[in-house]
Structure formats: structure tokens, C-alpha cells
Amino acid sequence: MGTITSADLIAMLSAIADTMDENRDALCALDGEIGDGDHGVAMALGFNAARDALADLEADAVPTQVLNTAAKAFLSGVGASCGPLYATAMMRAAAAVKGQDVLSSEDGSKLVAAMAEGIAHRGKASVGDKTMLDVWHPAAEAATEGGWSAAIKAAEDAAEGTKMMQAKLGRAARLGERSLGHMDPGAASAVLVIKAMASTLG
Amino acid sequence: MKTKKIINDGANAVDEMLDGILLAHGNILRRADGSGRAIIAKDGPRDGKVGLMIGGGSGHEPTFVGFVGRGLADAAAIGNVFASPPPDPALESVNEINGGAGVLFMYGNYAGDVMNFDMAAEMAAMDDIEVRTVLTTDDIASAPLDEIEKRRGVAGNFFIFKAAGAAADEMMSLDEVERVARHANARTYTMGVALSPCSLPQTRTFNFELGPDEMEIGMGIHGEPGIERGPLKTADEITDEIMDRILSEMGAQVGDRVAVLVNSLGSTPLMELYIMNRRVQARLAEAGLETHATWVGNYCTSLEMAGASITVMHLDDELTRLIDRPCECAMFRVV
């Protein structure tokens, strides 16, 4: 059985920042269809702020410290809607592994579940509202039951499924039926986050 | 193709803009220590006065930073372009504007702003600062009347912040300033029209598409889709469409007074705004309403978007007094 160390979590956050940099303009374009076109910028800023803050972290930091540091940097770095959502997600993940110096590979699914909980708590969205929670919720369930490959499959399917949903929260909610047919940008970026987590922790 | 902008690194656009604002208006504004994104009125906060904190994403200048100054807002928390500020700027300045009478947070009703300012308010409460919040919801195109709590705040912020800022300047209590702010919000009606999109400095690509002969009525100040897209109409037709909706929702009586704001979304010139205003005033006169004051120009923009919005505030004696009260901000004065 593999383990997940603080260094792995730092690598994970760096991989998320990389994928946000690569997909920044595509996410902005997706957001421009039903929102205000800034989602890729905000996600890239947030995870880059997290990566930068982790570069200054002491070498003996435990996983909880890594995740809390990332959360605070993300929140201070970006604001927007994804700031409080991902900051709360990472704080919950930090709390979920508190007291552990090293995580087991099964703890990976615990992180996903805690992040999904944090996003649900802060955003007050329900499943079906066409938000990032529509990806995080099924991905967390799938991760617990079937590991990373199941989580990725569930996340991708769920993001695709947001095309069929009418937005109930956030800027896109003002669109009503016109939000149909468009993938929710927060759902799309959630898939990228989960894939980057899987590629580094799985 | 990338849009043309006079910028350096797009990632530094907001901070460099604030540097320039501080250099131009250092007699009125200063920065709080910390992130550099909290701008405070030098001569605004004082003992016993309710502190008024406004804020939101950049890209709408002179909203929000331009409305900081004595008689209006005491501080603005500034976010990235079209993105809510994190809780930090509000927290960095809330102590400095709290004169012991509490602080009112006022900003447009957007999910990101609500989450970040609520987090800031919760953290300020831990330091025993009483914070209340009033969201602005003046954009009548953004949701139907029966879902008024879902409406977003746009150019009408100008009137709503002005009324609340004047109430605080009159040394009203936090309860009273909050009441005035809610009252002002309930009596302010805005609707806009977009003719062309805008582009963020970080991406320099248009954030939505609008055909060469198209306009969109009711579009939001971040390009949120509106209620009707169609071929470009004349100034009078556009103004009528907007005024029909404003007048019908406002339900004013003959003889009532109003204040008017004809606002550019960025690149629409004064010439076109004044052409619209001519029709706005004709419609108000036709409805038997008296225009107490009119502002025309760039008050709540959306970067370089072309288009305009019309705001009408339905005045009563109290709101008239508050709108007329002098204020001195970097980008707006009443003398």
C-alpha cells in the first residue's frame, strides 16, 4: 500500500495549478457563455497563490498544515466565488486528516469527501443547481466506493450532466433556460482538480 | 485575436490602477496596510459615525473606489477584475472605519461577494465590531419582481451608496443607516443595454459575443446575459423599452420627484448618453414626474463594453435631502 506525504500534497497542489494555467482561457470561454468569463483567471490565481505559499512552508509541515496553508493563500489570493468555496474545501480536508503525519492511500478519498462537504457548506447549493457541487458530490461518493478511476469517471459524467441542468445559483442563475446546453464552468474546473489529485495521489 | 489595451502585465492591472488613483487623489484617499486593496477615506471616518464599507470587483470604475470620501463611503474593498475581493481588504480596513457606532457593508448582490463579505463580517464580529449588510438589487432586468432577492446590484449603487453615506454623515445610528440603505435600494431602478462585449486585462479576449448589428437589453455589468437580444434599435426605442419597465415597476404618482442617472458601460460616449437622456426626461415629464437631479456619464462601467444603463431613484423628502448632502470623493462631488 502506498502512502501520501506532505510532499505528495504539495505536488498535488502544484499539479492543480499547472492544469489551471493550461486551461485558464478555455475555462474563461466556458464561463463567458453563461457567466462573466473570469472563472479560469480566478482558479489559476487561487491555485498559483497556494503553490507559492507552499514553497515557503517548513520542510517538516504535516498534511494538515499543507492544506491549511493552501486554503488561506487561495482565499487571500482570489476572492471571487471560488475563493471561499475552495478555501473552505481545503480547510475541511485539512481538518479531516488532522493529527496524521502521513496519510494512507485510502485517505485520498477522505480528502475528496471533505472537500465536497466544505463546498456544500459554504456555497449552500443543492445537487442539481448546476454548480461545482454537481461534480464534487458524485465524485466524493465514487472515490469512497471505487477509488480514483471511479472518481474521475463520475466527475466527467457529472460535468457533462450539468449541460442538462438549469442554473439555480450564481451568475448563471439569471439565465434561466438559456443556461441549458452549457457545461457549468465550476463543474468543468472541478473535474480538472480531481484529475490532478488522482494523477499525483493515485 | 487579442483585444487592444493600454496595460503592462494584465495580472498587475488592478494594483497599478490603484497606484495611479492614490497618486491622483492622495488628498482624499489612502491605502490600509496589508494587501493594498483596501482604500480608505482620509477625512471620512470619525468617532461616533457609522462606517460605510463598499466594495466588489474591479472593472466598474468609478464604482467602487471613486465613491470613497467624506460624506459617502469610508472604505472600499477592491477585488480583481469582475471578481469579489477576498475577506482580507475588508478586514484590513474595518477597524479603521469603525468609530464605535458599527459598520455597514454595502455591495451588489453577487454570490461571490456575499460569501467573501460574509466571511469578513463573521471575522469582524469576533473582534466585537458590529457589522450589518445591505445588498443592492437595483437591476430590474436581472430577475422578476417576485424574486427580487435574486436581483443584482448595478449602476443604481451610485444613488443607494450616496443615500446611506449621507445618512452616516448625518451621524444617524447603525439601525437608521441600515434602514435608509434598504429604503434607498427599494426605490432605485436600473436597466441597461449592451452593444458590444468587454475583455478582461488578463485574457484580452471578449467575454461574450454579440453580432455586429445586435444589442442585448438587460445585460449585466459583467456581461451576464439579459432578457432580450435583437437587432440594434434607435436611441428613443431603446430608452422607451427601458423606461416602460422602470416606470411600470416604480409606480410613481403624478408630481413625485426622481433622480436620474444615465450611465455609460465604458465606451459609449457622452453624445449618445445625452441623446438617451433627452428621451428619459421626455418620458418622465409625460408621466408627470419632476426630475430633481440628473447625472450623465461613466458611473458604473464594465471595462470597455459599449452600452448604457438608465437608473431612476424614486425620491421622497428624506432621500432628496440625502442625495443633495455634500460629499467629496475622488471621482464624485456634491457641493
User: pLDDT tens digits for A42-69?
Assistant: 999 999 999 999 999 998 999 999 999 9
Say if residue B64 is preceded by a cis peptide, omega within 30 of 0: yes
- In terms of DSSP H, where are the helices of B63-156? 87-97, 111-126
**pLDDT exceeds 80 at position A35:** no
What is the reported pLDDT for A174? 61
Which residues are B296's β-sheet partners?
B262
Chain centroid to Cα B127, Å, comes to 29
B222 catalytic per annotation: yes
Residues of B in contact with A175 (CB under 8 A): 224-225
Write out the E strands in B102-213: 103-108, 131-136, 188-196
Residue A176 predicted with pLDDT over 90: no
Q: Which of B128, B129, B112, B126 is nearest to B53 (CA)?
A: B129
pLDDT in tens, chain B (335 residues): 899 999 999 999 999 999 999 999 999 999 999 999 999 999 999 999 999 999 999 999 999 999 999 999 999 999 999 999 999 999 999 999 999 999 999 999 998 999 999 989 988 988 899 999 999 999 999 999 999 999 999 999 999 999 999 999 999 999 999 999 999 999 999 999 999 999 999 889 887 889 999 999 999 998 887 888 999 999 999 999 999 999 999 999 999 999 999 999 999 999 999 999 999 999 999 999 999 999 999 999 999 999 999 999 999 999 999 999 999 999 999 99
pLDDT bin (cut points 50, 70, 90) of residue A170 is low
- In this predicted structure, the answer to whether residue A172 has a pLDDT above a threshold of 80 is no
Strands B29-31 and A103-104, sheet pairing:
unpaired
A51 vs B: CB within 8 A: no
C-alpha of A43 from chain center? 9
**Given CB atoms, is B112 within the 8 Å cutoff of chain A?**
yes
How is residue A194 written as a grid cell? 480531481
As a whole number, the mean pLDDT across chain A is: 92
Rg (CA), chain B: 19
Q: What is the ipTM of this complex?
A: 0.71
Candidates B115, B198, B305: best to mutate against A (most CBs of A within 10 A) is B115
Q: What is the DSSP string of B288-331?
A: T-EEEEEEEE-SS--TTBEEEEEEEEE--HHHHHHHHS-EEESS
- Angle at the Cα of B138 from the Cα atoms of B136 and B29, rounded to 5 degrees: 50
Residue spans per domain, chain A: 3-201
Q: How do the residues of chain A divide into helix, strand and coil, expressed in percent and rounded to 5? A: 75, 0, 25
If one compares B208 and A157, the residue with the highest pLDDT of the two is: A157
Residue scoring higher pLDDT (A1 or B78): B78
Domain over A3-201 is classified CATH 1.25.40.10: no
**Which residues have C-beta within 8 Å of that of residue B144, sequence separation ≥ 6?**
none
**In chain B, residues 207-226 whose CB comes closer than 8 Å to chain A:** 207-208, 220, 222-225
Task: Please give the residue of chain B at the shortest CA–CA distance from A28.
Answer: B207
The shortest C-alpha distance from A199 to chain B (Å) reads: 28
Say what the pLDDT of residue A33 is.
83
Instruction: Give me the domains of chain B, ranges plus CATH numbers.
Output: 10-187 (3.40.50.10440), 188-323 (3.30.1180.20)
Which chain A residue shows the shortest CA-CA distance from B115? A84
Q: Is B107 on the interface with A (CB under 8 A)?
A: no
Is residue B314 part of the annotated active site? The answer reads: no
Question: Any chain A CB within 8 A of the CB of B115?
Answer: yes
Backbone dihedral angles phi then psi of residue B141, each to the nearest 5 degrees: -85, -10
Chain A residues within 8 A of B208 when measuring between CB atoms = 32-33, 37
Cis peptide before B62, with omega less than 30 degrees from 0?
yes
Strands ordered across the beta sheet of B29-31: B29-31, B38-41, B75-81, B51-58, B103-108, B131-136
Backbone angles phi, psi at A33, to 5 degrees: -70, -35
* Residue A199 CB coordination number (10 Å): 15
Q: Cβ(B280)–Cβ(B243) under 8 Å?
A: yes
Kindly state the percentage of chain A with pLDDT values over 70: 97
- Closest by Cα among A7, A12, A202, A10 to A107: A202
| Model confidence at A103: pLDDT above 70 | yes
Q: Chain B residues with CB inside 8 Å of A21's CB?
A: none
How many CB atoms lie under 10 A from the CB of residue A177?
Answer: 8
